[in-house]
Protein backbone atom coordinates (compact mmCIF):
# COMPACT_ATOMS: atom_id res chain seq x y z
CA UNK A 1 0.00 0.00 0.00
CA UNK A 2 1.39 3.38 -0.99
CA UNK A 3 2.07 5.80 1.85
CA UNK A 4 -0.15 8.87 2.14
CA UNK A 5 1.58 11.91 0.64
CA UNK A 6 2.67 14.54 3.13
CA UNK A 7 1.18 18.03 3.08
CA UNK A 8 4.41 19.46 1.67
CA UNK A 9 4.25 17.21 -1.35
CA UNK A 10 0.57 17.96 -1.86
CA UNK A 11 1.24 21.69 -1.65
CA UNK A 12 4.09 21.45 -4.16
CA UNK A 13 2.00 19.44 -6.61
CA UNK A 14 -0.86 21.92 -6.37
CA UNK A 15 1.57 24.84 -6.81
CA UNK A 16 3.12 23.36 -9.94
CA UNK A 17 -0.08 22.06 -11.49
CA UNK A 18 -1.15 23.41 -14.87
CA UNK A 19 -3.31 26.47 -14.75
CA UNK A 20 -5.12 28.24 -17.50
CA UNK A 21 -5.18 25.40 -20.00
CA UNK A 22 -8.92 24.97 -19.70
CA UNK A 23 -9.40 28.74 -19.85
CA UNK A 24 -7.35 28.98 -23.04
CA UNK A 25 -9.15 26.02 -24.59
CA UNK A 26 -12.48 27.63 -23.75
CA UNK A 27 -11.36 30.98 -25.17
CA UNK A 28 -10.13 29.32 -28.37
CA UNK A 29 -13.40 27.41 -28.64
CA UNK A 30 -15.39 30.63 -28.82
CA UNK A 31 -16.91 30.97 -32.28
CA UNK A 32 -15.56 33.67 -34.57
CA UNK A 33 -19.06 34.69 -35.54
CA UNK A 34 -22.32 34.84 -33.66
CA UNK A 35 -25.52 33.27 -34.98
CA UNK A 36 -26.37 36.57 -36.67
CA UNK A 37 -23.03 36.56 -38.56
CA UNK A 38 -21.42 39.35 -36.54
CA UNK A 39 -17.95 38.94 -35.02
CA UNK A 40 -18.03 37.45 -31.54
CA UNK A 41 -17.56 40.43 -29.19
CA UNK A 42 -14.17 40.63 -27.44
CA UNK A 43 -13.04 37.17 -28.66
CA UNK A 44 -9.46 38.30 -29.37
CA UNK A 45 -9.27 40.11 -26.02
CA UNK A 46 -10.54 37.03 -24.18
CA UNK A 47 -7.89 34.84 -25.86
CA UNK A 48 -5.18 37.44 -25.11
CA UNK A 49 -6.18 37.67 -21.45
CA UNK A 50 -6.20 33.86 -21.11
CA UNK A 51 -2.72 33.65 -22.66
CA UNK A 52 -1.40 36.45 -20.43
CA UNK A 53 -2.75 34.70 -17.33
CA UNK A 54 -1.00 31.48 -18.41
CA UNK A 55 2.33 33.21 -19.10
CA UNK A 56 2.17 35.18 -15.85
CA UNK A 57 1.30 32.06 -13.88
CA UNK A 58 4.18 30.13 -15.46
CA UNK A 59 6.63 32.92 -14.67
CA UNK A 60 5.47 33.25 -11.06
CA UNK A 61 5.49 29.49 -10.55
CA UNK A 62 8.80 29.00 -12.34
CA UNK A 63 10.63 31.73 -10.47
CA UNK A 64 9.20 30.78 -7.09
CA UNK A 65 9.57 27.01 -7.39
CA UNK A 66 13.20 26.81 -6.20
CA UNK A 67 12.67 28.94 -3.08
CA UNK A 68 9.46 27.06 -2.26
CA UNK A 69 11.17 23.65 -2.53
CA UNK A 70 14.00 24.87 -0.29
CA UNK A 71 11.52 26.35 2.22
CA UNK A 72 9.53 23.10 2.40
CA UNK A 73 12.70 21.15 3.35
CA UNK A 74 11.71 17.78 1.99
CA UNK A 75 13.03 14.82 3.94
CA UNK A 76 14.39 11.85 1.98
CA UNK A 77 11.75 9.24 1.31
CA UNK A 78 11.94 6.49 3.93
CA UNK A 79 10.83 3.85 1.42
CA UNK A 80 13.55 4.95 -0.99
CA UNK A 81 16.19 4.79 1.74
CA UNK A 82 15.12 1.27 2.72
CA UNK A 83 15.20 0.12 -0.90
CA UNK A 84 18.62 1.70 -1.41
CA UNK A 85 19.98 0.05 1.75
CA UNK A 86 18.61 -3.34 0.61
CA UNK A 87 20.13 -2.94 -2.86
CA UNK A 88 23.52 -1.94 -1.42
CA UNK A 89 23.57 -4.89 0.98
CA UNK A 90 22.54 -7.42 -1.67
CA UNK A 91 25.00 -6.17 -4.30
CA UNK A 92 27.79 -6.08 -1.72
CA UNK A 93 26.89 -9.62 -0.62
CA UNK A 94 27.04 -10.83 -4.23
CA UNK A 95 30.38 -9.10 -4.74
CA UNK A 96 31.72 -10.80 -1.60
CA UNK A 97 30.56 -14.18 -2.91
CA UNK A 98 32.37 -13.54 -6.20
CA UNK A 99 35.50 -12.56 -4.26
CA UNK A 100 35.36 -15.81 -2.30
CA UNK A 101 34.88 -17.82 -5.50
CA UNK A 102 37.90 -16.16 -7.11
CA UNK A 103 40.10 -16.18 -4.00
CA UNK A 104 41.18 -19.77 -4.69
CA UNK A 105 42.49 -19.07 -8.19
CA UNK A 106 46.25 -19.42 -8.75
CA UNK A 107 46.70 -15.88 -10.05
CA UNK A 108 45.12 -14.23 -6.99
CA UNK A 109 47.33 -12.54 -4.40
CA UNK A 110 45.87 -13.22 -0.95
CA UNK A 111 46.88 -9.73 0.24
CA UNK A 112 44.52 -8.32 -2.40
CA UNK A 113 41.77 -10.68 -1.22
CA UNK A 114 42.22 -9.55 2.39
CA UNK A 115 42.18 -5.88 1.38
CA UNK A 116 38.98 -6.41 -0.60
CA UNK A 117 37.40 -8.36 2.26
CA UNK A 118 38.09 -5.41 4.55
CA UNK A 119 36.52 -3.11 1.96
CA UNK A 120 33.44 -5.35 1.77
CA UNK A 121 33.11 -5.34 5.57
CA UNK A 122 33.30 -1.55 5.57
CA UNK A 123 30.67 -1.29 2.82
CA UNK A 124 28.34 -3.59 4.77
CA UNK A 125 28.94 -1.58 7.94
CA UNK A 126 28.15 1.67 6.11
CA UNK A 127 25.01 0.19 4.54
CA UNK A 128 23.72 -1.07 7.86
CA UNK A 129 24.59 2.11 9.77
CA UNK A 130 21.61 3.75 11.39
CA UNK A 131 21.10 7.46 10.85
CA UNK A 132 22.84 9.59 8.31
CA UNK A 133 22.37 9.04 4.65
CA UNK A 134 24.24 7.92 1.60
CA UNK A 135 24.03 11.48 0.25
CA UNK A 136 25.54 12.87 3.44
CA UNK A 137 28.39 10.34 3.46
CA UNK A 138 29.00 10.96 -0.24
CA UNK A 139 29.22 14.70 0.33
CA UNK A 140 31.63 14.22 3.24
CA UNK A 141 33.79 11.78 1.25
CA UNK A 142 33.97 14.12 -1.74
CA UNK A 143 35.02 16.98 0.57
CA UNK A 144 37.77 14.74 1.96
CA UNK A 145 38.93 13.86 -1.56
CA UNK A 146 39.04 17.54 -2.51
CA UNK A 147 41.15 18.29 0.58
CA UNK A 148 43.51 15.44 -0.32
CA UNK A 149 43.77 16.76 -3.88
CA UNK A 150 44.63 20.26 -2.63
CA UNK A 151 47.34 18.76 -0.39
CA UNK A 152 48.83 16.85 -3.32
CA UNK A 153 49.03 20.04 -5.36
CA UNK A 154 50.62 21.86 -2.44
CA UNK A 155 53.22 19.10 -2.03
CA UNK A 156 54.01 19.28 -5.74
CA UNK A 157 54.24 23.10 -5.63
CA UNK A 158 56.68 22.80 -2.71
CA UNK A 159 58.72 20.27 -4.74
CA UNK A 160 58.09 17.57 -2.13
CA UNK A 161 56.70 15.25 -4.86
CA UNK A 162 57.24 15.03 -8.61
CA UNK A 163 54.65 15.61 -11.33
CA UNK A 164 54.61 11.86 -11.98
CA UNK A 165 53.69 11.10 -8.37
CA UNK A 166 51.08 13.88 -8.46
CA UNK A 167 49.47 12.42 -11.60
CA UNK A 168 49.43 8.88 -10.21
CA UNK A 169 47.88 9.91 -6.90
CA UNK A 170 45.43 12.31 -8.56
CA UNK A 171 44.27 9.44 -10.75
CA UNK A 172 43.60 7.37 -7.62
CA UNK A 173 41.64 10.29 -6.16
CA UNK A 174 39.69 10.60 -9.42
CA UNK A 175 38.71 6.93 -9.18
CA UNK A 176 37.72 7.36 -5.54
CA UNK A 177 35.66 10.45 -6.42
CA UNK A 178 33.81 8.55 -9.14
CA UNK A 179 33.25 5.66 -6.75
CA UNK A 180 31.97 8.07 -4.10
CA UNK A 181 29.46 9.46 -6.58
CA UNK A 182 31.04 12.65 -7.91
CA UNK A 183 28.84 14.11 -10.61
CA UNK A 184 25.67 12.36 -9.47
CA UNK A 185 22.54 14.42 -9.40
CA UNK A 186 21.44 13.17 -6.02
The average pLDDT across 42-56 equals 91
pLDDT tens digit string along 112-127? 999 999 988 888 877 7
Worst-scoring range by mean pLDDT, 15-19, 75-79, 115-119? Answer: 75-79
Q: For residues 180 and 141, is the Cβ–Cβ distance under 8 A?
A: yes
Nearest to 18 by CA among 50, 61, 75, 48: 61
Which pLDDT band holds residue 69 (cuts at 50, 70, 90)?
Answer: confident
- Confidence band (pLDDT; 50, 70, 90) for 70? confident
Percent of the chain with pLDDT over 90: 42
Is the model's pTM score more than 0.85?
A: no
Confidence label for 129 from pLDDT (cuts 50, 70 and 90): low
Nearest alpha carbon to residue 76 among 8, 150, 163: 8
Amino acid sequence: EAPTPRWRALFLVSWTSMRGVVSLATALALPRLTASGASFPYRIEIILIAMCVIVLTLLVQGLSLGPIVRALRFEPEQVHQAEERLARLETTRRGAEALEDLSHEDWVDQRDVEALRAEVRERVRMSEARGGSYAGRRRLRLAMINAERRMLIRLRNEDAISDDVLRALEQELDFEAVRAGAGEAR
